[in-house]
Amino acid sequence: MKEFRPAKKRVKVSVGESVRILRELQELSQSQLSELTGIPQTTISAIENGRVNLGVERAKVFARALQCHPAVLVFPGWEVAPARAA
Residue ranges of the domains in the chain? 15-74
pLDDT tens readout for residues 16-65: 999 999 999 999 999 999 999 999 999 999 999 999 999 999 999 999 99
Cα separation, 68 vs 18, whole angstroms? 11
Q: Which of 2, 1, 9 lies closest to 80 in space, CA to CA?
A: 9
Whether the per-residue pLDDT at 10 is higher than 80: the answer is no
Cα separation, 51 vs 20, whole angstroms? 14
Which numeric CATH code is attached to 15-74? 1.10.260.40
Yes or no: say if 73 and 18 are a contact pair by the CB < 8 Å rule: yes
Task: Please state the φ and ψ torsions of residue 29, each to the nearest 5 degrees.
Answer: -85, 165
Average pLDDT over residues 63-79: 89
| pLDDT recorded at residue 85 | 57
